[in-house]
Amino acid sequence: MPIVWEAIGASILPNIGGWAATPFTIKATKSWYKTLNRPPWAPPDWAFGPVWTVLYTAMGFASYLVWRDGGGFTGRGRTALALYIAQLILNWAWAPIFFGLHSIGGGLIDIVLLYGTAGVASIAMFRINRTAGYLMVPYMLWLSLATALNYYIWRNNPSTEEQDFPLEP
């Protein structure tokens, strides 16, 4: 079976943003993040790296399947791929916003936009290739957890809430 370099590249691509955000995440996780009121159901810090690696790789492979079966950016897969890229950019932006800027509210805005965009992208991908759509399901489940976690932290850390969403202009 020949190596399909496009599949390998597509599977690695989403991880690049995760790797780029690692310095923000590690620095904040060791200091600022530990001071926040977090829910008792929050996953342990060590779980995020391995989970995101698997999810990024799966969504990257899903994008390859859509690219392959949908005719790339010039075929019927162009909308699904454009939505995929949009949600990937929002995904990559979250860690620098939340951990880098310590902006819990900004992270919440980003992740809500991400959740909606990823959901629409997943549906569009499913219409091109069912396996691609199914590969996005674990990602959507994890985004549900991540969104709830971000909301809980925003709601239960009022000092940062006021900085992110001032009551008066």
CATH number of the CATH domain containing 94:
1.20.1260.100
Tokens for 24, please give them.
Answer: 């923000």
Residue 110 lies in a domain: yes
Residue 93 lies in a domain: yes
- What is the total residue count of the chain? 169
Residue 18 lies in a domain: no
Task: State the Cα–Cα distance between residues 19 and 36, nearest whole angstrom.
Answer: 24
Residue 139 lies in a domain: yes
Does position 165 have pLDDT exceeding 60, yes or no?
no
Q: Give me the mean pLDDT over the 133-143 stretch.
A: 98
Does position 141 have pLDDT exceeding 70, yes or no?
yes
Number of domains in the chain: 1
* The pLDDT of residue 160: 54
Q: Give the 3-state DSSP-derived string for the chain, with helices as H, strands as E and coil as C.
A: CCCCHHHHHHHHHHHHHHHHHHHHHHHHHHCHHHHCCCCCCCCCHHHHHHHHHHHHHHHHHHHHHHHHHHCCCCCCCHHHHHHHHHHHHHHHHHHHHHHHCCCHHHHHHHHHHHHHHHHHHHHHHHHHCHHHHHHCHHHHHHHHHHHHHHHHHHHCCHHHHHHHCCCCC
Residue 153 lies in a domain: yes
Does position 106 have pLDDT exceeding 60, yes or no?
yes
Q: Give me the mean pLDDT over the 93-100 stretch.
A: 95
- Domain of 98 in residue numbering reads as 7-12+47-161
Does position 164 have pLDDT exceeding 60, yes or no?
no
Residue 169: pLDDT band with limits 50, 70, 90: very low
Residue 30 lies in a domain: no
Q: Give me the mean pLDDT over the 146-151 stretch.
A: 98
